[in-house]
Amino acid sequence: MTGFFRVFLLGFYFYSYLVSCSILRETIPSRPLNDGSISVLLKIDKNAREEFEKVTSWEIPYTFIEKDHSYAVIQREKLKVYGFPKEGINIAKGMPFKYYSGNYQDSLSESIFALADIKKGYKDNILNSHYLFWVHRLFPKHSQYKIIGKSARGREIPAILLTDSNIPDEDKISVLFNCAHHSNEVVSVEHCYDVIYELLAHKKKYNDLFAKLKIWVVPIVNPDGSRVFWHENMSMGRKNGYPGWGQVTEKDNPGVDINRNYPFFWGKTKSNQTSSVSNSVFFRGPYPGSEPETQAMMNLAEKERFAASISYHAFANCILVPYTIDGTSNPEPDLVWNLGKRIASSVESKNPNHNFSAKKNIYGVDGVDQDYYFFKYGTLAYLIESSHLNPPYSDVPKIVESLRPAWTILLEEIADGSKLYFKIKDEQGNPIVANIKYDKILFYHGEIRTSRKEDGMFFQSFPGIRGIKLKVEKEGYETVNWEGTTWRSWKALDIVLRKKTPAQ
């Protein structure tokens, strides 16, 4: 990456951050960070702190304090009013996100944990691990702390599993919420934490969901990107930062865009939003599934067979419905669009310039997680673009509240909507991996639906579809023909496959 492009990218991210603040001001009243104008970060020498506080009358809070310097975000138009820059008070450039956050140091220093702490500020990979661990300690009967894998640089990828531990997992179905494939989109993490907070703060209200579902939340899929964005350079963090691909000596923008690295349609589009060039911000990796972060999510999906999922990003203010990749065709009848539109209509947009809507995509992509889950398992897999990019944290509560109906509707659909729910076994009661072939659903990309090897479970949500005709097939076993309607009750139907006799 050239020096010019790196400076340009840093400027673009920070400008987007500030524009996001500007848009938000028109919709959500709150104590403003910059009143909609472009702001800058000041670096204040320790000997100039007293003058800074006197000149600004304590109206400009510090966002980060070090031994020799303090930092504060200020409106550019007020620089002349206060007479900045001046000796000991200068504009800081190229600083990582922790200097802008305004609450990071306070959050790190907290020694007593309460659930409300997860709503106090933005989170890097350090705080994320800390919070998930203590959420489990605080709610041991309704949560489990999990490590689903490690990043390219060896950092753990933590997750939390929300479910009622007093009820066996045997008949539960899994749902996934994940955030920060692109860790420079820190507001995306807050949507994952909204799921955690709301479910645990209102356990009685959501008792039925805890009983029926295993709700997986992975707030930061890309911990290396989070580390880089927060602590090294705001122009990075979209990728995972691993310098293993391309030139070994490459230092500018190393790593892979994890959400271009999934196997489905990998590298098949000609969009400028996906690239085979290693120093591109959209580098899709040397081969599909090359990254340990991608592999961790794929392994989790294989194990859990998610019935539904939402991946959170920022900040196009829409819900993307699979298949999102150009050149792909959804199965017929389509299982995901009606639900996607219903979710979109439930969201009250906090972005006055763009209505929240359901879309196929916002630009050409390939190798994305939601399309992979939809292709591989029939997961009702959506991607939600938040309405703003990393605004002042005081505005985050209204943003996550406006998008909350998306995940609540999705969970309710899985728990109470029309479904097929089979347990496929042999005559001795052993689980079987069998193929489920629908009679009147057309697939265009070789999609295969199978039961899970561990327990023979097959679950598929069918929003708005009732009559189904299918075959359950396994080599060496008699085919079972099944015809009926989807159901809303939470009861699995046993299907027994019998071995073929030699004469058959």
- Which positions ≥6 away from 118 have C-beta within 8 Å? 131, 135, 193, 196, 197
Per-residue tokens: 58: 């304590």
> Which among 190, 179, 62, 69 has a CA at the least distance from the CA of 123?
190
Residue 416 phi/psi, 5-degree rounding, is -125, -5
Say if CB 434 and CB 497 are below 8 A apart: yes
pLDDT at 15 over 60: no
262 and 367 Cβ atoms separated by less than 8 Å: yes
Please indicate whether the domains covering 108-412 and 419-496 agree at the CATH topology level: no
pLDDT at 244: 61
pLDDT digits (tens, 9 = 90+) for 439-491: 989 999 999 999 999 999 999 999 878 889 999 999 999 999 999 999 999 98
Cα–Cα distances (Å) from 345 to 141, 247, 382, 417, in that order, read 35, 47, 15, 18
Q: Is the pLDDT of residue 24 over 50?
A: no
What pLDDT band is residue 9 in, cutting at 50, 70 and 90? very low
d(CA 438, CA 331) in angstroms, rounded, equals 11
CB atoms within 10 A of CB 46: 13
User: Average pLDDT in the 237-259 region?
Assistant: 74
Q: Which amino acid is at 175?
A: V
Active site residues: 385
Q: Which residue did the predictor score with more confidence, 17 or 39?
A: 39
The Cα 97–Cα 232 span in angstroms is 8
Residue percentage of the chain with pLDDT more than 70:
90
Residue 395 CA to residue 241 CA, distance in Å, equals: 29
Residue range 188-192: mean pLDDT, rounded: 98
Q: Is-contact 474 435, C-beta < 8 A?
A: yes
Q: How confident is the model at residue 352 (pLDDT cuts 50, 70, 90)?
A: confident
Separation between Cα atoms, residue 129 and residue 256, nearest integer Å = 22
Q: How confident is the model at residue 111 (pLDDT cuts 50, 70, 90)?
A: confident
367-400 residue pLDDT tens:
999 999 999 999 999 999 999 999 989 999 999 9
Residue 346 vs residue 7, higher pLDDT = 346
Q: Is the pLDDT of residue 11 over 50?
A: no
Q: What is the C-alpha to C-alpha distance for residues 209 and 211, in angstroms, rounded to an integer? A: 5
315 preceded by a cis bond (ω within 30 of 0): yes
CATH topology of domain 419-496: Immunoglobulin-like (2.60.40)
The tokens describing 488, both together, are 């809303």
Query: Region 18-24: what's the mean pLDDT?
Result: 40
Distance CA(300)–CA(375), nearest Å, equals 15
Mean pLDDT (the chain) is: 90
Let me know: does 431 contact 425? Beta carbons within 8 Å. yes
Segment 207-236 shows an average pLDDT of 96
pLDDT beyond 50 at 290: yes
CATH of domain 108-412: 3.40.630.10
pLDDT at 13: 45
Strand segments (E) across 119-212: 143-150, 156-162, 173-179
Amino acid 12: pLDDT: 41
Cα separation, 297 vs 293, whole angstroms: 6
Task: Report d(CA 285, CA 290) in Å as an integer.
Answer: 6
pLDDT score, position 145:
98
Mean pLDDT of 177-183: 98
Cα–Cα–Cα angle for 410, 348, 364, rounded to 5 degrees: 70
What residue type is assigned to position 502 of the chain?
P
What pLDDT band is residue 246 in, cutting at 50, 70 and 90? very low
pLDDT for 112 equals: 87
- Sorted by where each begins, the domain ranges of the chain are 39-93, 108-412, 419-496
Give the mean pLDDT of 159-170: 96
Residue 251, pLDDT score: 61
Q: The pTM is what? A: 0.92
CB-side exposure of 269: number of CA atoms within 13 Å? 24
Who wins on pLDDT, 234 or 6? Answer: 234
User: Which of 52-66, 132-146, 236-250, 405-419 is the least confident region?
Assistant: 236-250
Looking at residue 425, its pLDDT comes to 97
Kindly state the tokens that stand for 49.
Answer: 């702190």
* Cα 81 from chain centroid (whole Å): 42
* Preceding amide of 323 cis, omega within 30: yes
